[in-house]
Amino acid sequence: MSQRILMIGYGAMGREVHRLLPDGVTLDWLVLPEAAQSDTQAELGNTTRVLTAIDQCSGQPDLVVECAGHPGLAQHGEAVLQRGWTLAVVSVGALTDNALYQRLVDAARTGGGRLHILSGAVAGMDGLASAREGGLTAVTYEARKAPRSWKGSPAEDLIDLATVTEPTVFFEGSAGEAARRFPANANVAATVALSGLGMEKTQVKLWVDPHTERNSHRIHAVGRFGEFRVELNGRPLDNNPKTSMLAALSVVRACRQLLDPVVI
């Protein structure tokens, strides 16, 4: 029996997720702004119903996946959770807004839904969350990306991306501040924080590196369990340099888990 998903957003990430959906999982509903509804419906044909609000979905999705960015999660997240559905979130940086986070938690509790925070563009979150159970002393996260990946972000006000010639740190601070100031680039900071010490106790350093075409993430955790370091050098999506390919694949994995009898 096919597993049916509802997707919020259909930009570069959403399209990549749709392309890679495993056999046995279908995109039955898509929620988009009204301005994009008719064109996208014509593009997708009758296989997917394009909606503008969650309450227009008359069926029962097996999973709702958010690929819409922070505004999409803020607009539609509560309605999903109030219906008792599971919402897989990749725009984790939006949860640095404490009011939004609390609204989503309250909606999940009252409606019986579940907020599933995806690992996104980074690895090792299972180990970090496990280490937290025994007590963490320190967690640091560093992101290193090419200048083009920081264009259109507040990094342009902190450093000249067109002339930088050496790897340069342009931000140091808490995960909460990083995710709030760089929402399109720092979802990982929020993911690391929620898995570990929280937004204000997780330290973040952001780099621009003109010598790389990869998105590099480094995590260092110390605690009662011992110590670990994770380094990942990921490729961005071809049509959106601010988005990691691995982030899109984390959504695909969540969809595949609907089919698998064994979940890792």
- Separation in Å, CA 45 to CA 31, 37, 41, 186: 15, 12, 6, 35
Q: What was the pLDDT predicted at 242?
A: 74
State the pLDDT at residue 137. 97
- Least reliable range by pLDDT among 74-83, 141-150, 164-173: 141-150
Report the candidate in 251, 254, 255, 248 with the shortest Cα–Cα distance to residue 234: 248
- The pLDDT, as a whole number, for residue 243 is 81
pLDDT band at 160 (very low <50, low <70, confident <90, very high): very high
Q: Answer whether residue 239 shows pLDDT above 90.
A: no
- What pLDDT sits at residue 251? 97
Say which residue, 139 or 263, is predicted with more confidence. Answer: 139
**Residues 190, 156, 145, CA angle at the centre, nearest 5°?**
55
pLDDT at residue 229 is higher than 90: yes
84-122, pLDDT tens digit by residue?
999 999 999 899 889 999 999 999 999 999 999 999 999
User: Which residue of the set 18, 70, 76, 217 is catalytic?
Assistant: 217
Higher-confidence residue: 242 or 208? 208
pLDDT in tens, 200-219: 999 999 999 999 988 899 99
Residue 253 has pLDDT above 80, yes or no: yes
Instruction: Work out the pLDDT band at 45, boundaries 50, 70, 90.
Output: very high
- Residue 187's pLDDT band (boundaries 50, 70, 90)? confident
pLDDT of residue 123: 93
Q: Give the mean pLDDT of 157-181.
A: 93
- Alpha carbons within 13 angstroms on the beta-carbon side of residue 180 total 11
Q: What is the pLDDT of residue 14?
A: 96
pLDDT tier at 240 (50, 70, 90 boundaries)? confident
**Interaxial angle between packed helices 125-134 and 187-195, expressed in degrees from 0 to 180 and rounded to the nearest 10:** 30
Q: Which pLDDT score, from 0 to 100, does residue 171 have?
A: 96
Let me know if 217 is a catalytic residue.
yes
The percentage of residues in the chain with a pLDDT greater than 90, rounded to a whole number, is 83
